[in-house]
Amino acid sequence: VLCMPGAMGTAETDFFPQMKGLAEKHQVVSFDPRGYGKSRPPVRDWPEDFYHRDAEDAHAIMQALGFKQYNIVGWSDGANAAVILASKKPEAVSKMAIFGGNAFVLQEDIDSYEATRDVKKNWSKRMLALHTPVYGDDLQPMWDGFCDAMKGIMARGGDICQGEAKKIQCPVYVLAGAKDPIVPNFHPEWFAKNIPNAKLHFFPDGKHNIHIKYGDEFNKLVMDFFAE
């Protein structure tokens, strides 16, 4: 199982409940994406194809480790890159669970990102406690880079991976927090409707971090799905 982190995320900050929980039945691999965590220097940059680059990096890691086929768990930005990876490498991806991702951005998405731009004012204490030890004074300029990258996608029409999602061949489990303040419900609903072989599950009181807040329940759902 390959766990693909979200924006600013690392294997340790994003998937500590899965690194242990999913390992009961699977070999679990995660990584610090290019420009994040210990995959620095250089610091993260945001070319127009950065989601495609993340997808290529993730597949290259699994190939280097000798895994020709694997399942994916993708969160947030990692979900978007996972969708691209599954569409580009159908022979490699057996099943996929994604959550917190979005195949496109609308103005309301940009507004929600902008509402979090000032990390000291707008991030939760938990998020700051997770990421400040990793990035220190680089945290604010890096998050500015992400927010600006989202505005760039919006300026280019808003598409992230809509076409790729519709080409996915493997079974996909779309999970979501019904009260996610960052990714509105229409995003996971779009994935579930447009990915050919997808099913959808909402955590009624969940927000953006359902795999951490409801770690045991999340892990069981995912492992049962992989075992089907």
- SS3 labels along 62-105: HHHCCCCCEEEEEECHHHHHHHHHHHHCCCCEEEEEEECCCCEC
The rounded distance, in Å, linking the Cα atoms of 99 and 143 is 20
| Catalytic center residues | 76, 180, 208
CB 49 within 8 A of CB 63: no
pLDDT of residue 168: 98
pTM: 0.97
Pairwise CA distance, residues 86 & 89, whole Å: 5
Instruction: Return the closest-CA partner of residue 184 out of 103, 97, 128.
Output: 103
pLDDT on residue 170: 98
Digit-by-digit pLDDT tens for the chain (228 residues) are 999 999 999 999 999 999 999 999 999 999 999 999 999 999 999 999 999 999 999 999 999 999 999 999 999 999 999 999 999 999 999 999 999 999 999 999 999 999 999 999 999 999 999 999 999 999 999 999 999 999 999 999 999 999 999 999 999 999 999 999 999 999 999 999 999 999 999 999 999 999 999 999 999 999 999 999
Q: Report the pLDDT value the prediction gives residue 227, as an integer from 0 to 100.
A: 98
Beta carbons of 59 and 87 less than 8 angstroms apart: no
Residue 218 near residue 225, CB atoms below 8 Å: no
